Each structure stands twice: as structure tokens, then as C-alpha cells.
Amino acid sequence: MPAPDLPPLPSIEPADRTVGVILHPRMVDPAALAGSITIVIDNLRASVTIAAALHAGAVAVHPCLTVEDARAQSALLQSQGMPRSNILLGGERGGRLIDGFDLDNSPAKYTTERVAGRTLVFTTTNGTAALLHAAGSGVVLVGSLANVAAVTDAVAEDPRPVYLLCAGTRDAVTLDDCLAAGAFADALIRRGRQFVADDSALLCRSAYLASMAQAEGLFQSMLSSRGGRNLLQIGLEADVEFCSRCDHLPVVPRFYAQERIIRLQDQRG
């Protein structure tokens, strides 16, 4: 807590084409994101899994807050005439497959053979909650190391502020999301954006560049993060490696909040 008798901060006029990082959804009121472009990052693993599913030909992803919400969404789609065979229930709780679901949150399992032409109903511990938290933004995109270049290209010339919203792990800030946010911050600064006054983007960018400069690179940094350690404990090191690869899923998933659905942006504009 700062001293209670501090004078107010001097006003700083917001510059055009800014980029900022929000380290955890609890650090921002959803109303503050109105009119901005928000890139939601859950690098281990929801953001990568969503990108993998859409890259493999999934029609759409319905993000759901709870397991019961996901089951209800699947039932609703079926009541509207969609066969159960066209619906995949995916996600995790505690990193593991949810009872009765078709797929967990391991992105490598979302192959063309498994997901092409199907609709995914999806819930995870942190990532889908962060997406729903950002629903009031002007544009909501799903970002990760796997699609930095594609998402950066999609927003580079837009004058609106860009916020990189890290999902975190439960109530904690996590290095795995910060490294991906740093990759985006670096790419966007190189494309002419400016940092906001808060130093979170600068810190994330510094962490990302330091990791890239080390011989072991992003994979080892991801393994050492809280999310990476959690996955290691349940035998999912391969998922950490998959999620540490840069730009191998060149898609731009966009969350259309009014419909509560994620599709590839180039399908809808």
C-alpha cells in the first residue's frame, strides 16, 4: 500500500498506439478495457489449445466458466439441432481431463483428425475465465507464443490501445504468461507502439528477451514457471515444450463476446 497522504499522480495524456500488460485479471476492472484491443494470454495451456483447435479445422470454440456451464452449452447446441458427434467437450480441472469430457487441455491432442469440422465447448481453470473477464473490450483476441506473429500482424496498424491480459494461475501472477506477454510487447514495440506508463510491459519484455538470450531458451524458462512446474508434477512436460514453440500456429482466434464464441478472425473480420 502506498502512503495515504500522497498527492494524485500527474495526468498523462494517453498516447496513440500504446501497449500495456495486465499481469492478472484481478488487476483490472473489465470496464477499463472498453474500446481497447485485449489479447488474452494463458500460455500453459488454454491459449495454445484454442489456437491448435482452430488451426486444425475446428469450426468454433465456446469458452465456458464452469464445468456445468460447458455441459449446459453442449446440451443447448444439441437442442438446436447439432449432433453430439459434432461437439467436443474439452478442458481441464487441476490440469487433468474432466470426467465425461472428450479431450483435456493438451494442445497436441487437438489434431485435424480429431477436431476438423467440429465445435469445441471448452472450460479451463484460468484461461476461459480470463476471456470472459475481457468480454467488454472492443476486440478480444487469444494470444500465446504459438501465434505471436499472426496476432501482432492483426493489430499492428490499429490505433487503439492494446492490452495483454495474463490469465495467471488461480489468484497468482505466473511467469509463463508473462514471457508470452513479453514476446508480444517486444513485437509491438518494434512495430511502433509505445509502452503505457505502468512498467508491467517493460518487465515482461525484459524477462522474455533475457530468456531468449540464454542457451536453454524459452522452454527451460517455461519449465521453471509456476504453470510449468504444475504440469511437470502430472507428467505433462511435452505440453510445456509444445507451448514454448514460437509461431507454429499462425492463426488469429477472436472472441465474439455477444455470441460467446471464438472463431478465426479472418472468417468474420
Predicted confidence (pLDDT) per residue in 188-224, tens digit: 999 999 999 899 999 999 999 999 998 788 999 999 9
How many CB atoms within 10 Å of residue 68? 10
Amino acid at 23: L
pTM as predicted: 0.94
Give the mean pLDDT of 260-269: 78
Residue 127 lies in a domain: yes
Give the mean pLDDT of 1-21: 68
Give the mean pLDDT of 36-45: 98
Residue 6 lies in a domain: no
What confidence tens digit (pLDDT) does each residue in 124-138 have?
Answer: 999 999 999 999 999
At residue 8, does pLDDT exceed 90?
Answer: no
At residue 99, does pLDDT exceed 90?
Answer: yes
At residue 269, does pLDDT exceed 50?
Answer: no
**pLDDT in the model for residue 5:** 72
> Residue holding cell 455477444?
258
**pLDDT in the model for residue 12:** 42
Residue 171 lies in a domain: yes
At residue 267, does pLDDT exceed 60?
Answer: no
Residue 248 sits in a domain whose CATH number is 3.90.1560.10
Q: Mean pLDDT over all residues of the chain?
A: 94
Residue 141 lies in a domain: yes
**pLDDT in the model for residue 216:** 81
What's the chain look like in SS3? CCCCCCCCCCCCCCCCCEEEEECCHHHCCHHHHCCCEEEEECCCCHHHHHHHHHHCCCCEEEECCCHHHHHHHHHHHHHCCCCHHHEEEEECECCECCCCCCECCCHHHCCHHHHCCCEEEEECCCHHHHHHHCCCCCEEEEECHHHHHHHHHHHCCCCCCEEEEECCECCECCHHHHHHHHHHHHHHHHCCCEECCCCHHHHHHHHHHHHHHCCCHHHHHHHHCHHHHHHHHCCCHHHHHHHHCCCCCCCCEEEECCCCEEEEHHHHC
What confidence tens digit (pLDDT) does each residue in 143-192 have?
Answer: 999 999 999 999 999 999 999 999 999 899 999 999 999 999 999 999 99
d(CA 171, CA 232): 20
Which percentage of the chain shows pLDDT scores above 70? 94
Residue 179 lies in a domain: yes
Give Cβ neighbours of residue 249 (< 8 Å, ≥ 6 apart): 48, 51, 52, 55, 144, 146, 147, 150
Residue 1 lies in a domain: no
Domain count, the chain: 1
Amino acid at 216: E
Q: Which domain holds residue 153?
A: 18-264
Q: How confident is the model at residue 266 (pLDDT cuts 50, 70, 90)?
A: low
Residue 10 lies in a domain: no
> Residue holding cell 488469429?
252
Q: How confident is the model at residue 11 (pLDDT cuts 50, 70, 90)?
A: very low
**pLDDT in the model for residue 217:** 87
**pLDDT in the model for residue 215:** 76
At residue 10, does pLDDT exceed 70?
Answer: no
Residue 5 lies in a domain: no
Range name among 32-36, 190-194, 236-240, 265-269 with the lowest pLDDT average:
265-269
Computed over its alpha carbons, how large is the radius of gyration of the chain? 18
Are residues 230 and 177 in contact, defined by beta-carbon separation less than 8 angstroms?
Answer: no
Of residues 42 and 217, more confidence is placed in 42
At residue 14, does pLDDT exceed 90?
Answer: no
Give the mean pLDDT of 28-34: 96
